[in-house]
Each structure stands twice: as C-alpha cells, then as structure tokens.
Structure 1
Amino acid sequence: MTNSDQGEDESDDSGIGGWGKEHVSDDSGQVKKAAITDGRHPAAATNYRLNEPSLSFTPTAMESSMRPRIGVPPKGNAQSREELDFINGSGSALETLSCQDVSEPAQIDERTASTDLRSLSVGNEHHRQGSLGKGSEQGEECSPGRRIIPPCTSAEDINALLQATFLPPVTKESLEELDLEWIQSNISLRVDINYDPDLHFTPVSGHKGKEKREEAMKYWLSLEAELRIAYQHGPLDDCASCRKAAHSSKPLHFTPRLSQMFLSLQDLLLTLVPDHDREQVNQYFDIGLLLQEVSHGLLDVIRLAHWLCGLLTTHCAPMRDESAQEMAEQIQQGSEQGDLRILVRGIEKLFVFLEAMKLDVANHQIRSFRCHLIDDTVAFQQDYFQIRLRNGKLNAQASKQWYQEAVRRHHECSGPNPSPLTPTPGALIHGLVELCLSPESVIPETVKHDQARLMTIRDEIQDMLHLKMSLSMFDHLVKQILGAQSAPNFSLETRKRQNRDLLQNRIMDLTDGTMAQHKTTSEVWSQNHRAIAVELTRAAWNACDQDPSLLARIDFDKIAGDLLARFRSEEDDAAVARSIGTLLEKATKEHAKRFHKMTTLTISENQRQWHQLRQQKQQWRNLAGIEDMARMLAHVAVVHWRVWADLVYLAQ
C-alpha cells in the first residue's frame, strides 16, 4: 500500500507482506501509489501490491461480519506430492521415458551439455525444487515419478528441466492473498484504505517483480522442453541421436510438470467461475484422461483452448475478451504449425489471463466494500493489535515512552500557559510532526503502519524547504542584478511575481525525474543544483528585464556553488524546517479538531473530495502545501488516537 524497493520489504503483520510497500504496489514504481499527494513510499508486497484503480470483475458476496477473524489466514493446505502427482497412474505422460524402459545408463553428449550440467545430481535438484519425488540422493536410482532426460537433449533444455520450479508461476495458492478472507484480514490494507480512495492490487514490481518474471520464464522453458521430449523425441530406442551419444554412468532425471500444470489450471478455474460452471470444468479436466491423451498424442488442445476462451469471456471483464481470443489463437497456431514455443506462449498467456481475472475480482471487492472496511477500521485494528500486544509481538513500552516524551516536549514548546489538549491530544500531533521533520528519527511500533504517509510528508517538507532556499536565491539574484540603489516599482514587482510562479513549477519539474532512483529528497535537490541555478538566473534576468544575450557572461558555476552551499547548510536547513514545522503543527491541530467530530468514514470521504479538487487544479508536479500535509497528518492522528489511546498511550 505503498515506490521504491523499500515498498517490497516484507512484514509479518500483513498478508501482503511488509503488493505499494511497492502497497499493497510502488517500488515504487515502477508503478506509483498516491498515498497522500505524490507518495513515494508504497506499502510492501509479496506477489501483489496495492496501487491505483483498475477495471472490475464480477463481484463476490461478502460475509456479513466484517471481522471474520483476526490476523492473516494461513496459506492453503499444501498437498503432498502423492496427492498432486498423476505421473505414476495409468495415464502417465512420457511413458516411453520411464526408468524401466532404459536398459543401460544414458549419456549426454558433451557437445550439447556442459560439464557442470552433466555433474548435477538428482538429489541436489530434488532439494532445490522442493518435494518432487523420492529419488535417491545421488540420482543413482530413478524414483517412479521421475523421468530420464534423453541424451540428445540440448543443454538449454536440460537446464530448464532441472532448474525451473515445479509449480506454474500462477496457482490457486499464489493468488490466495487476493481472496476476500485475506482482504478482510490484511492489516496493511485495512489501515491504508482509510487514506487512499484509489487503493487496489497490481502485480508486484521492482526487484521482486523481476525475480518473479525470471522464475516464470524458466518454468515455461521447462514445459516447452518437456513437451518436446513427449511429442518430438519418441522412444529412446528409436532415437538415432541418443544411440550415437556417448554413455555416462549417471543419467539425469527430471520430474514432469504437465500433470501439476493441469491440476493448477483446474484449481484456478474453479476459483474464478460460478458454481453452475464448476461441473463443466471438472468434466473437461479429468487429469488422468488428459495425461493419457497427451502420452498418446491425442489431446485436442485447439478444442480445449477455444472452450477455455468461451468460458472465460463469459465471466471476465469486457476489456479482457481480446486477450482471451489472442490466447486461444496462439495455442491454435502453435498446435497447427507444430511449433511448441508458440504453443507454450499461448499457455503462458492463459495463466497470465487468469491472474488478471483474479486481480479484477479482488479490486472490485475492495471498491465494493470500501465503506464497510473504513467504518470498521478502529474496531478491527484494536482487536488485531490487542492480540499482538498479548502475544508479545509488539513493543508497547517503547511506543508509550515515545508518546510520553512527545507530551513532555509539547508542554515545553507550549510555553508557560499551554493551551488545553484537544480531544485528539496536541502531544500526539507534536510527536508526529517531529517524526516528519527529522530524517533520522525512529518510527515507533505503533506508528509503523502509517510510516509511508509520514515519510511522504517528510519528503514534501524537504521539497518545500529546498524550494524556499531556491526562491530566496532568486530574490538575491534580482537584487544583485539591479544593484543596491534601485528603487522598487510596480512593474518590477509584477514581473518578479510572475517569474516566481513559473520558476516554482520549473524547479519542481527538474527534481521530478530522479525520484525513483532510491535517493533522499535532499540528495535529489543537490544532484540537480546546477540545473536549478540556471533556471534561477534566467528567471531573475527576465524579472529585471535585462538583455538575454548578456546571460552568456554570467558565471553559472559560482551561482550553482552558492546554491549548493545553501542546500548543505545545516543552520539554514534547521531554521527553515522549524518555521515549516510550527505552521504545520498549528494547521494540523485545527483540522484535527474538526475531524474529531466525524466518523472515520466521513473523514475519509471529506479527504477524497479535497484531493479530487486538488488534482483538478494541479497541472505540474504536485508540490504539497502546508494545508495538504496538515490535513493528512490530522487524519492520521485522529484515527491513530482512536486505535492506540486506550491500548497503549493511556493504558495503566
């Protein structure tokens, strides 16, 4: 729910992981998540992250209770290999390559496989891929579920057969976090949905997304290799290339993936189609019969693909219809041309399509039940965190000390006659503002699920701070160009104001392109200091109505150096930050007083309308002002106080 690789850190609190931090999508980004104004820190993810809205799918009825259980539901029961493997049955695919059919050890031609591939033991591959069978540790014996790799197999195919995962990239289990039960129990989603009306799932991006794509590519290469052995190799005794290959004492074996692919496909379909179509799915997916047809070359994949296309287009969102047609056509093309690569690409499209359908379902559920989830947010969070406090999984003492320290510092800052605390205590707001002002501050455990929003406000404060320094440099340049004796006049002030407005947008545009490079906001401004200095000088020259041709005489290096020195001046930085912090705290308290009288749903709707108006007026990079940051911080403070006051801060 949160877009850097920071969004991909896993958390033990959430079914999403710890889907833009890069939430629930991110990473940023990579796809971006707009948590506040231009949020750069999405919530974290496992397979999916949360991000902007997408098209919907057929809704699923929601249970009457919004809190069916507390905590993240466990992953689906993993079936044993004996339950999943149909290879050993009468319909076993690749029967011609069973261990019993091999009269003598097969060898791999050194021209087609490297030494390291030939030396791989079955036991090591068994350990790497998970519980694939009961093969011997050194591969000296062939377990019933494993098959010999023909000696004529290419090195690329051998590598794919041995290295790829056993399960397809998309399975019922991998999509579990998109189930309604997980959505209801996902703490990151339940917190973030209060602040982001466009929250939704997207596939994870960034480093984890790249890893997922690479694993998927290996799997589809292994399936292509398996089908090539089944359809194009034939019995070992009939293969001239195998007979010519040099003999080896240790033949290589692989575990066929075809049966598990059919089973995974069946499970996925059963989760996506309504009850009245499940019998039809089960009839088509008689796994034993399908494997028999494959082993005898009788499977009509074209008929199966077009049936799947018709079934899926009946239930998917209209925008998915074209993808379903493309999938069926690609499978048909691969089958008719005998091109296994095209055929497997079509099967890959099928699984990608099913994943997209599941995402549509989940996103429709989030939109449909958003109001219920927000309305129940305080009660749900209290129940969830109460269990974690009871189990010792949350450090309440450290968070309570942080709050008590915030109370002390707030009292000191309030002077001899401090104003009475508002219903949402001013001390909490004071503490949150300090977290936003200090880049080095440690986020308490109780505030962890609001960390993305606080970090976004922190970045926006840094933007505002550096922009103020830049505009101050602009004023200095104007005075320098005109000279100390020049008297102010109306025309000059008008030109200065116009150039300042344009300059602000230009500077923010200059610092926008490097936001996703895992740099701090201060580093981004320092990195672009020379380009900013050029813009400042040009704007000051125009404001003074000077001859543009004289700009060539300006020493831009000196101006850029002076600007960088301002950016790095801790004294100037602290002074400007304090002034921004004072204004922010005052505005936040005013909004908090108003929000305190509202329900959580009313606050969220009020914020949604505010942001819609802001986006309509925004034409450039969104530079948040004090008002934007104060509204968000007040929203966080009010909900946070309702959840944590009795649990930790005021608890005896």
Structure 2
Amino acid sequence: MDLQKTKEARRETPGKQEETTECSLESYPGKGHSKNSPKNDSLDHRDTDNAKDPINRNQRRPPSKFAYDGSLQIRPAPLSATSRASSSSFSKPMIDIPKALGLGSKEQKLLEVAKRCPPVTKSTLSELDLPCIMSNINLRMDANFDRDLHFKPDLDGEKGRRKRKEAADYWEAMAVEITIYAFCATHQITGVREDPLTDQQQSFEPRLPTMFETLQDVLKTLVPERDHPSVMQNLEVSLLMQQIQKGVLDMVGVANWLATLLKTHCAPMRDEWADRMVAQISTGSQSQDSFEVVRGLQTLFAILEAMKLDVANHQIRAFRVLLIEDTVPFLQEYFRGKMQKDNFRVESSRVWYLGLWERELQSMEKPTQSDSFWPLSVLFHGLSDFLLQFHSPDGFPETFVFDSDRLWQLRACLQNLINLDICWFIFESYIHTQKRYLSAPAQTYATFRSRIGSLMEANEECPRGAPRWLKNVRCIALEIARFACAACCGESMVSDSVIAPIEAALEWHLSNESGIFQFFQASLREKLLSATSASAKKYLNMSPLAICDSQRHHPQSSGSQQHHDIERISMRLAHMGVLHWKVWAPILRGCAALIGKDVRKLKAKGGVHEPCQLTFSRGSTQRSTQLNQRKPLYFPNVYALGL
C-alpha cells in the first residue's frame, strides 16, 4: 500500500498543481523539554514566554511522507422522505468505500458500527474537573478513609471489558479509514462514483473530523488559556481535512508540535510517552503503515487521559484537607435536601436503632445508670450484629448508604477471622487425637495463620455451598492436613486417612452455624466492641481530619497478629460510626417531623404494634423485610440523644 503519490502522478494532474500547494502547519512556539528534568509525579507547568523564536515562527515545515494527494470521494448521505421535505435538514457527508480496495466484510462492518468518537473525550473526562470532584459525595467519603485516594481508569469487570472492546474497534476502524484515504490519494480517485447504485453498506461516516475536534477540545482543557490560540490554529479541523483531501497534511509535523506542547505542560514522567507517540507516527508514515500511525494516535489520547488524571489527582491532594474537614456539614446539607424532597427515607434506620435501644435496655441490670457514650455504643452493637452474624445480611441501614462497601469489607475480614479460629480449632483437635503437643504454639499459630489466611481470602466473594467455595474449602483442608502431618511426624506426604476427617469437619463447621462458630463469634464480638468503644471515645472530640491522621500515626501493637487485625478493624468501624453519629444526630434532632410519625404520640400509645417495613440497601439493590413487633417498643428521649 502506497501512502504517497509519486511525482509522475503529480505531473499527470496539471490542472490541480495550484490546488495542491503545500500548506504546512505552524510550529508551536514553545521551548523543548530538557531531558535532564527530574522525573517525579508532580505537575510541571513550564514557562514558554522566553522560548519563542521569531526567526522560526513563520517557517514552513517540510512535507511529511505521510501525505495524501488527490481529492477524496465524498457524497452526502441519502435523505429520508421526511428529511427531503424539510429545507433545514442536513446530513453528514459519507465516504464511499472503493471496490478496488477489496475490503473484507469485517473491515466494512467496523466502519459501519464502530464508535464515531475516540475513547477519550471532553465528556468522558468531565468527571475529573474540579467542580465535579468537589461535589462528588462518594469521593468525599472515601477521602476520609483512604489517604492515598486517587483516580484511575475504570477497566475492571464487564463494563471495563466492554470499554476496551469498543476502543479496540474504534482504532481498528480508524486504521481502515486511513487506508482508504491513502488508497484514494494513490489511485487519484475523483469525485465521480464508480457505481451510481452504491448502497449504504458501501459507505461510512468519517471519524477523522470528529477525532480532530475531540483532540482540540481536550487539549484546551489541559493547557493554559494563553496556548488556546495555538491549539485552534494548528488543529483547525476544516483546514486539516482540506489538507488531507489535497494530500498535503504533514502528520509528522503535527505530531512533533503536539509532543512539544504536551511536554511543556505534562508531568516529566509523561515525556517518554510523547516521544513514543512521535516515533510511532513517524515510523508509520515512513513505512506507509496506517496501523502504526493509529498506534501513535492511541498513545496520544492515552497521554491526554493520563494528563487529566494527573491534574485531578493533584487537585485531590491539594484539597484533601478541605474535603475531609467539610465532610459533616456537606453530608448534612446533602441529606437534608434529599429528605425535604422526599428522596431519602430514614424511618427504617430509625426504627432499627430504636429496636436496638429497647434490646440493650432490657439486657441492662440498671437501665437508669448509663453514661453519655451509651447511645453511640448501641449503634456499634447493632453494626456488630450485621458484621458477625452467620448468614449474610440483606443490607445495611439506609443512613449508611455511602459506607456500605466499607462495611461489607469489614464483614468479610471478621468472617475470615472466625473461620480462621475454626480452622485452628480443627487443627489442634487433630493434634490432640494423635496425642501430640505443639512445642512452640505461638510460632506455629503465626505460620498457620499466614498459610491458611491467604487461602481464606479466596472465599470472600463466594457464597457458602457454591462449587467454587467447596473447592477452596477442600484446598484449605488439604493445607491443614499437610500442616498437621508436618507438626506430628515431620512428613510432607499426606494420606487420605488424614485428609478425610479434617475435610469433613471443616466443611461442616464452615457450612453451618454450629456451636463452635457461635463460640468464636461471641469471643470476637466482645473483643471488637471493647476495642471499637475505646477508639470511638477518643474520636468523638476530634475533627474528621484529626481522626484520619490519628489512624495514620497509630503505633503498632505488640500483641498477636489477631489482636492487630481486630484493632485495625475496630478503628475503621469506630471512624465510620463516629462520622455517622455526627452527621445524623443533628439532622434527626431538627427534622423529626420529616422522618415519620410523631415520637411523642407513639410514646403516648405505648409503642408500635404494627409491622414496620424496613428497607436496607446493598449497592444499587434494595430489599425489604417485614419486622413484626410482637411487643410494644419503648422509645427513649430521642431529642436528648439526637435520634
């Protein structure tokens, strides 16, 4: 495939000599990037005022070998009957696919169905703008719990796979389109159509104009306003398309100008990408390989996305203190607005808390003697029920809507701790049946925990009883058996007589809410509530930022690994609970009329006898359960507590 028209071909079209006058792009008047610049992750905005060269500013670039000569065959898309009747209707031009090119059905299908816009556009990057960052409530919440919070491309899961497929199809269609441009230039295809009856499937809507428009729009969001005239001048879409049709576009020159512009404003670590982009486009032009040119364009848009991510992540770091300190008033304003518009209901969460209050009062020996922290401790008792219960809950109370993912993670960690204790119990039981004793229990437990704990993590996403879950349980049983044989006999070989009882016991205790599970559950609950209460009492009088920093500088405990894990989980749970309390207590104190029935009327009636509809959320799914109150609920003085 020849991407450049020969000199003989130029001489055969004397009538178009004047039309094909070279019209090169003006060089970007910025200084080059020094290779000695330090490579770091900061944003480097360099001054280019002193680097303008008045001598070279008006010089033309030599034409690139990636130049398209000749006019491209363009025709308007056929209009429907309704469109023809309307004088204001307008259709985008369509490009005929030359039959002589011999494109396969796959390439023709790509030209027809692939996306018209590149994967990176001003719209897709808009959520990284500062106003969107400051109004992103999920980001504000995550900033409280993740010091190294940052944006990254979302390419995981089914959605990510679909995005990668769409991007691959777009760039492959772009390569085919460039091939068509080159073919038309080489064979001097005129505006006369070979077949007047060409159907719609043999034409396509060009993507190059939209790509240039997108490139211009994205660049203007990344460079200072002083560089916008240069961007507009060098990326004028109508001029670029005219140069393509005339066969005089200097694509390598455009790539060099873009690299200079990007190096001036991007982080130094992106300079290598810019050089790679120029090399790919230059190689593709010299070898007349449209796919290599497209790889250079892919690199270009990857640089633009990375630059936008760099800016957004820099802004997160710069505004982190403000995002965290403003968490409580921001959430209060958000939820008040939702409640006033009746878009957020808290009745179920309130009834859930009052039910916990009643339960805890009944379990107290002297209900009248309770300290000021007791109302918050009721909240932690309720959360511990969700986190430690054997069966997975339908969801968490609605008021924890922005903490649900973190709560599910804590539940997975706590369930793993219980299951790890069960595994250790089965291991010790087998050792005792063999009338053997561990010479160094602490060291043995640490090694056991390390080897079994990693296998436990593989079961976090699997429901109990699922085939994958059973397979992982058998792997854990095999590892316990191997560990037991090594501890008893020093042997590495494991017989079936050892594996069978361990596997049966493990599968039973992990599949059922047995007495052993309840024993370790109760033990872990006591440790968790004690550590959580201790942390929460400190956090109550601290600002959100102080709470974050205190966890970062928390000293490492000298106890066991299990103690360290419980301490880490309890600090996270206390952090969530205290923030939740600070947000919701003032809202419910001042908005009792908005959240349901009058509490004083309910107290006068002696409680609630009707079933209460509780709605919890898990991600985007909402589920409802009926809670039948068999006896009247005692409602405390919610105004004094803020609930």
Tell me how far apart the structure 2 counterparts of residues 644 and 268 of structure 1 sit (CA, whole Å): 41
Structure 2 counterpart of 1:161 = 111
Matches within 5 A, 1:357-436: 357-417=307-367, 419-422=370-373, 425-436=376-387
Aligned length: 520
Conserved 8 A contact 2:117-2:210: yes
Structure 1 counterpart of 2:633 = none
Q: Does 1:458 align with 2:411?
A: yes
Conserved 8 A contact 1:437-1:458: yes
SS at match of 1:99: strand
1:547 deviates by 5.1
Q: Does 1:471 align with 2:424?
A: yes
SS at match of 1:298: coil
Q: 1:323 to 1:550 in 2, by over 3 A?
A: closer
Conserved 8 A contact 2:485-2:493: no
Structure 1 counterpart of 2:572 = 632
Q: Does 1:188 align with 2:138?
A: yes
Structure 1 counterpart of 2:127 = 177
Structure 2 counterpart of 1:555 = 498
1:236 deviates by 9.4
Structure 2 counterpart of 1:488 = none
Q: TM-score if structure 2 supplies the norm length?
A: 0.74
Q: 1:617 to 1:278 in 2, by over 3 A?
A: farther
Q: 1:525 to 1:220 in 2, by over 3 A?
A: closer
Structure 2 counterpart of 1:596, from 518, 523, 540: 540
Structure 2 counterpart of 1:99 = 75
Conserved 8 A contact 1:146-1:253: yes
1:145 deviates by 2.6
Structure 1 counterpart of 2:240, from 286, 290, 304: 290
Tell me how far apart the structure 1 counterparts of residues 41 and 177 of structure 2 sit (CA, whole Å): 36
Conserved 8 A contact 1:587-1:627: yes
Q: Which moved more, 1:191-200 or 1:152-161?
A: 152-161
Q: Which moved more, 1:326-335 or 1:392-401?
A: 392-401
Structure 2 counterpart of 1:500 = 445
Structure 2 counterpart of 1:339 = 289
Q: Which moved more, 1:188-197 or 1:528-537?
A: 528-537
Conserved 8 A contact 1:266-1:285: yes
Q: Does 1:643 align with 2:583?
A: yes
Q: Deviations over 1:11-49 (max 9, x none)?
A: xxxxxxxxxxxxxxxxxxxxxxxxxxxxxxxxxxxxxxx
Structure 2 counterpart of 1:150 = 98
Q: TM-score if structure 1 supplies the norm length?
A: 0.73
Amino acid at match of 1:590: A
Q: Deviations over 1:545-572 (max 9, x none)?
A: x352785474312221122112122123
Matches within 5 A, 1:519-534: 519-520=462-463, 526-534=470-478
Conserved 8 A contact 2:485-2:492: no
Conserved 8 A contact 1:149-1:251: no
Conserved 8 A contact 1:161-1:222: yes
Tell me how far apart the structure 2 counterparts of residues 554 and 434 of structure 1 sit (CA, whole Å): 39
Q: CA RMSD in A?
A: 3.5
Structure 2 counterpart of 1:17 = none
Long gaps (5+) in structure 2: 1-39, 47-67, 593-643
Q: 1:180 to 1:627 in 2, by over 3 A?
A: same
Q: 1:229 to 1:550 in 2, by over 3 A?
A: closer
SS at match of 2:514: helix
Q: 1:314 to 1:549 in 2, by over 3 A?
A: closer
Tell me how far apart the structure 1 counterparts of residues 581 and 420 of structure 2 sit (CA, whole Å): 33
Tell me how far apart the structure 1 counterparts of residues 224 and 563 of structure 2 sit (CA, whole Å): 47
SS at match of 1:57: coil
Amino acid at match of 1:57: L
Structure 2 counterpart of 1:74 = none
SS at match of 1:465: helix
Q: 1:302 to 1:547 in 2, by over 3 A?
A: closer
Tell me how far apart the structure 1 counterparts of residues 200 and 469 of structure 2 sit (CA, whole Å): 61
1:482 deviates by 0.9
Tell me how far apart the structure 2 counterparts of residues 310 and 274 of structure 1 sit (CA, whole Å): 14
Structure 2 counterpart of 1:480 = 433
Structure 1 counterpart of 2:455 = 510
Tell me how far apart the structure 2 counterparts of residues 164 and 592 of structure 1 sit (CA, whole Å): 54
Structure 2 counterpart of 1:9 = none
Q: Does 1:440 align with 2:393?
A: yes
Matches within 5 A, 1:16-95: 55-58=41-44
SS at match of 2:462: coil
Structure 2 counterpart of 1:5 = none
Long gaps (5+) in structure 1: 1-53, 61-91, 103-120, 124-133, 484-491
Structure 1 counterpart of 2:511, from 559, 568, 575: 568
Tell me how far apart the structure 2 counterparts of residues 522 and 370 of structure 1 sit (CA, whole Å): 43
